Copies of this chain bind each other. A is one copy, B any other.
Amino acid sequence: MTEEEFLATYDPRAYPPVAVTVDVVAFTIRDGRLHLLLVRRAAPPHAGHWALPGGFVHPDEDLPTGAGRELAEETGVQAGALGRVHLEQLGTYGAPGRDPRMRVVSVAYLAFAPDLPDPAAGSDADEAAWVAVDSLGLPDAATLTGRPVQQRPGTTRKLAFDHTRIVADGLDRARSKLEYTPLATRFVGPEFTIAELRAVYETVWGDTLHAGNFHRKVLSVPGFLDSVGATTDRGGARGGPRARLYRAGDARLLHPALLRPSREEAVR
């Protein structure tokens, strides 16, 4: 093996070409539903199918930089203005044959953003849109816990390549990270109410939470929320007192964590 490796060290072009791409699983919340940024492929393979935004890594470009660039290209947000967008590496997918053209190793990134604008028209020849995740037919929390699945309206789309798996992995990661990191604050504006934060958890987890217990719980986690000292201008749309406003604190981990309800079933 050493000789082979030795040769490869000095002439890697002797190997069949491998392409490295960056794909982005970008989540946001719109109208109380979790949405995912997708682009419709114009060219084969999988022409006409929806796929994750992504593309080849540029020379001299770091992987997270490439992910931010791909995200910026599709959303129209300036790459430098992605300040409130959280970006983290999700995983790398490189099974032979996952792209019929050649060996493609794809590094997937996960992005969380507050409600971003619709993809800028004409920014790309491919159509791009925020698509409700629950229209993709992925197994959700309700499926896992045996409760009846309520398929939400919207066309069920089959994603190109292995992107359905990548999205499923990203969804798992997102659900898990809400438990022990302040990630949920990335889905809301810089100042938010506890009810808005709770809506994030309920949307991503696909479960309803007890408002009173949630309220006390998040306030008890050190460094999670900082009180702004002000309240909303009005009460809720259907009544209720004005809610206090909070900002994200400096905690990077939540301790104690906010555990999802009833995870025993998913343990085995």
Contacts and interface: CB of A to CB of B under 8 A. Distances in A.
**Which residue, A2, A62, A92, A253, has most C-beta atoms of chain B within 10 A?**
A92
Q: How many copies does the complex hold?
A: 2
Interface in A1-35: 1-2, 5-6, 8-10, 12-13, 15-20
A223 B263 CA distance: 14
Nearest to A91: B89
Contacts of A254: 267
A25 to B, nearest CB: 15
A55 interface: yes
Interface in A84-101: 89, 91-92, 94-96, 101
Contact of A56 (B2, B5, B61, B266): B5
A252 B223 contact: no
A92 B95 contact: no
Contact of A17 (B13, B73, B102, B266): B13
A42 to B, nearest CB: 8
A8 B56 CA distance: 8
Contact of A102 (B5, B12, B19, B264): B12
Interface in A125-140: 125-126
Q: Which 9 residue pairs spanning A and B have beta carbons closest together?
A: A12-B19, A2-B125, A92-B92, A63-B94, A253-B267, A60-B96, A18-B20, A16-B59, A8-B56
Interface of A: 1-2, 5-6, 8-10, 12-13, 15-20, 43, 55-57, 59-63, 73, 89, 91-92, 94-96, 101-103, 105, 107, 124-126, 222-223, 250-255, 263-264, 266-268
9 contacts: A6-B43, A12-B102, A13-B17, A20-B105, A63-B105, A89-B91, A222-B267, A250-B268, A253-B263
